Amino acid sequence: MGMRMIHMDQNCPVENTSKEDNDLPLCVGKIEDIKYSKRISATVYGREIVVFYHEENLHAMDLHCYHAGGPLHLGEIEDINGQACVICPWHKYKITLATGEGLYQAIDPKHPSVMPKWCSKGMKQRIHTVTVKNGDIYVTLSDTSLSFESDHYADKYKKPVHPSLNK
């Protein structure tokens, strides 16, 4: 599938931002652009995230897959068991866009011929809050007092924060 990617790095800085303000919304792009590209990757206070536009909804999550750090911004979106999921391009793990749950198919060994059921491994990928104001998309990083498996790769690939954001 041909995929158009937009990457934004602090393209519309937040005013009055200090080192303690990592919980403030940061603009990552424009709604008119994501409607066309279907996804935007961005760095929010040093953390790499991806925003997907799917069926008129916006979903933000850590960009690196919780399994081994794969690039979720390059993954296909598929409907699995009624839930929109991104399929990690590295090992095909399925992650729900709305909740960051890892899905897997469970086979009942006593009834191997029965169609395997989709089950959840729980929330593995950190989801962030997306808001839209005046046509701009903002991402607010979620509360890091709760940990998610994707935090490991978010920390590993953490980018230095642009000095203009720490005035």
Which residues lie near ligand FES (CB under 6 A)?
65, 67-70, 88, 90-91, 93
Give the residue with the Cβ less far from ligand FES, 85 or 88.
88
Q: Is 37 helix (H, G, I), strand (E, B) or coil?
A: helix
Q: What are phi and psi of 31, to 5 degrees?
A: -60, -35
Q: Which residues in the chain belong to E strands, given as ranges?
A: 6-9, 26-30, 39-44, 47-54, 57-62, 76-80, 83-87, 94-96, 101-106, 117-123, 127-133, 136-140
Give the residue with the Cβ less far from ligand FES, 6 or 85.
85
Give the residue with the Cβ less far from ligand FES, 60 or 62.
62
Listed residue (124, 52, 62) closest to 84, CA to CA: 52
Smallest separation, CB 64 to ligand FES (Å)? 8
Give the residue with the Cβ less far from ligand FES, 149 or 165.
149
Smallest separation, CB 77 to ligand FES (Å)? 15
Whose structure tokens read 């296909």? Answer: 76
Smallest separation, CB 93 to ligand FES (Å)? 3
Give the residue with the Cβ less far from ligand FES, 90 or 118.
90
Distance CA 115, CA 105 (A): 9
Sheet holding 83-87, edge to edge: 76-80, 83-87, 94-96, 101-106, 117-123
Smallest separation, CB 125 to ligand FES (Å)? 10
The tokens for 78 are 């598929």
Smallest separation, CB 89 to ligand FES (Å)? 8
